[in-house]
């Protein structure tokens, strides 16, 4: 088939899967993916997922990819905390949580990591708009809790201070924070969050 026909159909999706292509064209030849990737017409994001080079440097598109290539998932942890201005260091990868297994993907758009969390703990995210893309993104409170849940070594004053949270940007809804922690039903997590609140005088 002609690439121009393919592009007209798939381009507005931004990120698309081979299954979406096969639903559109049941007789589509898999060899086209390989051929067009080699020519640079499309970009392979991971096995079975592709995009177009025109999306390089498009605002929010890398975040959209993070949601798209591994579902269900939402952006959280270090990337989210950096976005909220809480941690000072630049983040070189987009960090997400998923109820699927822990994994990592690298492609021309960036590095995407996913850590496993139980399905019932997949909450506390909201849909945020970045450019034209709507992204599942952890609230500040959930990103903090996710961090302390998945990184239990933040369990003393020294380690928590080493996070170097920006106190001026740490505008946390304490009621929401406590409400979310209760859902985890994890006493050790409760203690870590309580200590974090004390350390940063929230």
pLDDT digit string (tens) for 76-94? 999 999 999 999 778 889 9
φ/ψ of 84, rounded to 5, equals -80, 0
Report pLDDT for 91: 87
Q: Is 169 exposed, middle or buried (0-12, 13-18, 19+ CB in 10 A)?
A: middle
| Residue boundaries of the structural domains of the chain | 3-55, 61-199
Measured CA angle at 130 (ends 128, 134), to 5 deg: 50
pLDDT digit string (tens) for 95-148? 999 999 999 999 999 999 999 999 999 999 999 999 889 999 999 999 999 999
Q: How many helices (H) and strands (E) does the chain have?
A: 9, 9
Q: Is 85 exposed, middle or buried (0-12, 13-18, 19+ CB in 10 A)?
A: middle
The CA R_g of the chain, rounded to the nearest whole Å, is 20
Report pLDDT for 175: 96
Q: Region 171-200: what's the mean pLDDT?
A: 96
The conformational region for residue 2 under phi > 0 = left, psi -120 to 50 = alpha, else beta, is beta
Report pLDDT for 8: 96
Report pLDDT for 89: 79
d(CA 178, CA 142): 10
Q: What sections of 27-155 are H helices per DSSP?
A: 31-38, 61-68, 77-83, 140-150
Q: What is the pTM of this model?
A: 0.93
């Amino acid at each position: 088939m002609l690439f121009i026909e393919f592009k007209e159909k798939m381009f507005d999706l931004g990120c698309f899967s081979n299954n979406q292509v096969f639903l559109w064209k049941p007789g589509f030849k898999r060899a086209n993916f390989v051929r067009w990737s080699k020519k640079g017409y499309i970009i392979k994001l991971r096995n079975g997922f592709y995009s177009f080079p025109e999306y390089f440097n498009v605002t929010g598109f890398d975040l959209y990819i993070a949601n798209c290539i591994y579902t269900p998932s939402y952006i959280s942890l270090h990337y989210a905390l950096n976005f909220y201005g809480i941690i000072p260091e630049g983040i070189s990868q987009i960090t997400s949580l998923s109820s699927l297994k822990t994994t990592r993907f690298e492609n021309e758009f960036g590095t995407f990591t996913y850590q496993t969390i139980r399905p019932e703990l997949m909450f506390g995210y909201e849909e945020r708009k970045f450019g034209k893309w709507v992204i599942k993104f952890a609230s500040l409170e959930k990103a903090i809790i996710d961090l302390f849940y998945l990184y239990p070594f933040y369990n003393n004053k020294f380690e928590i201070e080493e996070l170097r949270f920006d106190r001026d940007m740490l505008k946390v809804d304490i009621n929401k924070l406590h409400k979310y922690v209760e859902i985890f039903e994890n006493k050790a997590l409760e203690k870590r969050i309580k200590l974090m609140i004390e350390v940063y005088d929230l």
